Amino acid sequence: MLDALSPSAEDYPLSAPPGWLQPLMSMICIYSIILPHGAIRLSAGGLVFGLFFYLQFWTADRGVNGYATGTGCASIVLRWLDLLVMHRPETEFWSVEEIKQDGSHVKVQAKVPFDRWAKLKWFGSLWIASRGVGWNIQSSQLPPPVAKDYPKDRWLFRTIVRTFSMYLGYDLTSNILLHIVREGPFLAHPIAWQVFYAWTKAFRAYYSFESSYFALAIMSVATGICQPHQWPPLTGSFGRDAYTVRRMWGRCWHQCMRRPSGEAGRVVKETFRLKDGTYLSRYSQICIGFLVSALSHHAGATVGCFEDGGAWQFTYFMLQPAGIMLEDLAIYIGKKCGLRPDGLTRRFGFLWTILWFSWTLRFMVAYQPNTWVTSYSAPSIIGYVMRRSIG
């Protein structure tokens, strides 16, 4: 009987996740804000978890869409738990606008609207702000946006150029992956091959995130829905900040998982009454944060039919706290020996970070379905040029 609740691909072909699933889950969460606070509002979670259960056990798709839907729906569940279960939005979250008053900049807190539909719009804005941009929960680690008076046409031009360059990067890495021969288990290949393949996939993911993010930014700013300062860069400066594993994750990557990861760590700290500033408090929160990220991505691996079920990807995320603790120990010993941060130590830091991810990124991509590479169907400028050259 229980087996019937969780069929597998071996039982019969499972259908791909329907396109309406993720938007429906988000709409249920957003509309639940107009329900009375308490048990009635939380009852909407039954629908959210029911749809997520259906996604995990009744759908499968070896394409990138299956993985994206799995991780996206997992993020929705985490956001619902954060905003609507662990907190009361009406009293704990507010939008913050900086205005000029008496010659100085003053931050103004916007109150929650009383009107039902205005409140729905208010919460919808909070819901889609996964990094908290413009809200009191905005991360201090985000790259700074352009100034409010930055010319709109100049921002659009620069962003269009950047988006096109990201597309070219995505196109190039996709074509490289198409021409890499992959036979047999990934980890049985020579280490140099594994590292090259892993970094190529990592850059492809980076270019994909960047181009998608700024394409949405361009549309919203061009249509007047948003202003340029509402779209801070998705990633930080790798050339300036990526000299430790901690800073790589905390300042350079997209920060979309910072809120659920941080809240989970906070709950564990408060539950076990861990004292602020202690090693146990600090590193337990880091471990819990990466565990949340690992579980979220594991949901994508389940729907996306990873060859190993997502085990090695899970290992990748849970290795990251070990890398942070290892470099913290090295920094501590270095300070005790009289070393001070300078250009040389940072160069060693960049080398360490590159070596760390050269080793661990292999586990992230080792058992991703090969269809992620072979099913590349976007218009390819580089592919066209190559075909013309060969022809």
Quote the percentage of the chain above a pLDDT of 90. 79
Per-residue pLDDT, 1 = 47
Instruction: Provide the pLDDT for residue 296.
Output: 97
For the chain, what percent of residues have pLDDT higher than 70?
A: 92
Residue 77 in this model has a pLDDT that exceeds 70: yes
| Enclosing H/E stretch for 347 | helix 343-365
Q: How confident is the model at residue 376 (pLDDT cuts 50, 70, 90)?
A: low
Q: Average the pLDDT over 12-16 and give the result.
A: 84
Q: How many CB atoms lie within 10 A of CB 146?
A: 19
Of the candidate ranges 7-21, 248-262, 269-283, the one whose mean pLDDT is the lowest: 7-21
d(CA 350, CA 243): 4
Name the least confident of 41-45, 180-184, 227-231, 323-327: 180-184
pLDDT of residue 103: 52
Q: Residue 61 burial (CB < 10 Å; 0-12/13-18/19+)?
A: buried
Burial class (CB within 10 angstroms; exposed 0-12, middle 13-18, buried 19+) of 36: exposed
Distances (CA, A) of 339 to 47, 333, 334, 335: 56, 9, 5, 5
pLDDT higher for 315 or 277?
315
Q: Is 367 a residue whose pLDDT tops 50?
A: yes
Dihedral, CA atoms, 360, 362, 368, 370, nearest 10 degrees? Answer: 170
Which H or E run contains 162? helix 152-178
304 pLDDT more than 60 = yes
99 has a pLDDT exceeding 50: yes
Structure tokens at 316: 């990748």
Give the type of residue at 266: R
Rounded to whole angstroms, how far apart are CA atoms 159 and 84?
A: 35
pLDDT value, residue 184: 85
Confidence of residue 373 (pLDDT cuts 50, 70, 90): confident
Average pLDDT, the chain: 91
**pLDDT (tens digit, 9 = 90+) per residue, 214-256?**
999 999 999 999 999 999 999 999 999 999 999 999 999 999 9
pLDDT number for residue 25: 98
Does 41 have pLDDT greater than 70? Answer: yes
Tokens linked to 328: 């913290």
Residue 274 reports pLDDT greater than 90 = yes
Instruction: Give the tens place of pLDDT for each residue, 105-127.
Output: 556 667 788 889 999 999 999 99
**Range in 3-12, 291-300, 381-390 the model is least confident about:** 3-12
pLDDT band at residue 379 using 50, 70 and 90 as cut-offs = confident
